[in-house]
Each structure stands twice: as C-alpha cells, then as structure tokens.
Amino acid sequence: MDMIESPIKRSSTLPDLYPAKLKHSPALKAVSKHIKLPTERPLKLKPLNSLIISKPTKPVLSVSNKATWDLRASYSMGDLKLGKCLGRGTQGRVVLATIKDKECAVKIMHKAEKKAGELEWNILSSSKSPFLISSYGKINDKDHMYLILELMEGGDLFHLIRKRKLNPTEISFICAEIVLALEHLHSLGVVYRDLKPENVMIDSSGHIKLVDFGLSKVIGDERACTTCGSPEYMAPEVIRKQAYSYSADWWSFGILVYELFHGYTPFKGETSAETYENILEGEISFSRVDIVAENFIRSLLNPDPKLRLGHSESDIFRIKRHSFFRKIDWAATQEKSQSLLNKNH
C-alpha cells in the first residue's frame, strides 16, 4: 500500500510480459507457457463527497478486540469523515479520515474485492505483532468495505531511501524489525507475497510496520501457486509458477536488503520481461556492501528455494544469528525499546 502518492510507481501485477526484443529469450521461453496473468478488477468508487454524505442502510461495524479506540459497536456513516487520498494499494485506495475527531487512515475496497478485504481484516485483527499496521475496525455497506487503519505519519521506506542514504546500522535495524514481522506472519500460516519498500511504513517513533495484505494468502503447511507480487521482488519459483511457500518472502526480503544498500534492486530491467529474465539468470553484482552483508544477501537470494536461507521453520534462528545482525538485541527490538531512525528522517 503506497501511503504517499508518488509519480514513481511499481506494479504488483505482471504487465508487458513478452516485448518483441525478448520474445525468443531462452529463459523466458522455458517458462512462458506456465505464466498466467492475474485478473485485475477496476475499482468503481464513489466520489469522496458522496461517500461522506451517503447513509447506507444499516452499515455493519466490526471492532478489533485489540483496538484502544473507544468506538461504539455500530454507528452510521456520519461518524466517518473521509478526506484526501493518501495512496492506492493492491485492492483499493487509502484516504485520510477522522472518526469522532480521531485521525486514521481508511482503505476503501469495492465489494468485488471483499474476499481480499476480509482476509486482510482477519490477518490484522488476529495479529499481535507491533510490526504490522493496526486495524481498528471495518464498515461494510452494499458497495464498499471500509477498513479503518492506524495512520502512519512517517511515510514509507521507498521514499526514505530516495531521500537519503541509510547507514549500515540503520539498515540492520530496519531489517531486524522486518524479520520479526515476517516471522509473525509465517507463524499465522500467512505468506505475505508483496514485500517491497512501498509496503514498509515508518511510524512517528521511527519503527517500521508492514501494510497492504491484499496479495497475502493463508497456506499453513500447504503451498501456493499463484503468480503475483511486484516483478522486481518475485522469487524464481513464483515466476515459473511452481509451488512455493514462505521462502518466497525471504527472497523478497533479500531483494529489499540489497536495495537498502545500493538504492536499486539487483535484477531490474528495462521491462518486466527483462526483469524476469534477469531473476531467472540469477547474476548479482555488489558494490556497496561488506563481505558479511554480501553473504547474507546471497544466502537469501539462492535460486533454489530448498537451499535458500529461510526455507525451513528453524531457519528463522539462523537468520537471527547471522553476523549481519551482530549488533541487534532481539529482545529489545521485539519490545521496540530503541529506535535508530530519527522520527523526522
């Protein structure tokens, strides 16, 4: 979910798969028959003014048990005042809003995306991680679902790393919190499938929170097969549409760690097709990292998911014990007792 609008956008779908100049690429030819583009449903949202004024028949409100807000069990749309658009996510748009003079963000999804919206609500309402965005409730009317979310005032990681270069200590701190977020999601049986800087928000205290679970899937001990995600962060097995599990998230994490150091992703091409080809070829060059960070990234970007760091359930301990995190106090990080990011960045 891109909480801040930007002219720089990266797709979470698979456009421009076979441009003419790469049509006969050996790497792509081998997988071309296996890739199926996801179906996109256009959002047909009412203008903001009509949303504010309208009074749907008996809107239904659900409030998370963990919410600290003093919200009533049910209320009218008049309690929800919607403002400017903050950004667009996988299944809807996010707007600034107030409920009884309390600021929040509201993700608005069309009824066609209700299944994804319910999944996102279930993940967030059952989550106990301080590194996933909080959801305070939801409202359903006949046309839309409104997911009430915590307002993240620090912007996203995508904009931060384009504003200034992070030092290695800051990078390891950010990565440690992301590790804890992924560990929690996986413990719930959820594969995230859309880890990228745009979906890593920063709160006013300098801590990160993952957002936008529209592509997430509950798999438990099973595997997923759907080809989805943002092209630059997709694991080879996802591109090939092979069955995959939680290790696909650790591949995306490896891409993100690389990007935090270099300012760009390792396999980016001129087109999505060229990016896929680069990922399948697997050649990586390093220029701004020490040997410890390079080893960590290469372990995460192993093209064989069975050999990738993060493949097995016990690998979370190997990740935490890696020398890349030698300065991290994991207990203190879990408790958010320290922050290395200045809240003003």
Cα torsion for 59, 65, 68, 74, to the nearest 10°? 20
- The C-alpha atoms of residue 255 and residue 235 are separated, in whole angstroms, by 9
* DSSP 8-state assignment for residue 313: T
CA count, 13 A, side-chain hemisphere, 307? 6
Q: Is 82 left (phi over 0), alpha (psi -120 to 50) or beta?
A: beta
Find the helix packing angle between 168-187 and 247-262, rounded to 10°: 160
Residue of 70, 79, 101, 194 marked catalytic: 194
101 is known as an active-site residue: no
In the chain the first and final C-alpha atoms are separated, in Å, by: 20
- The C-alpha atoms of residue 39 and residue 61 are separated, in whole angstroms, by 29
Report the catalytic residues: 194
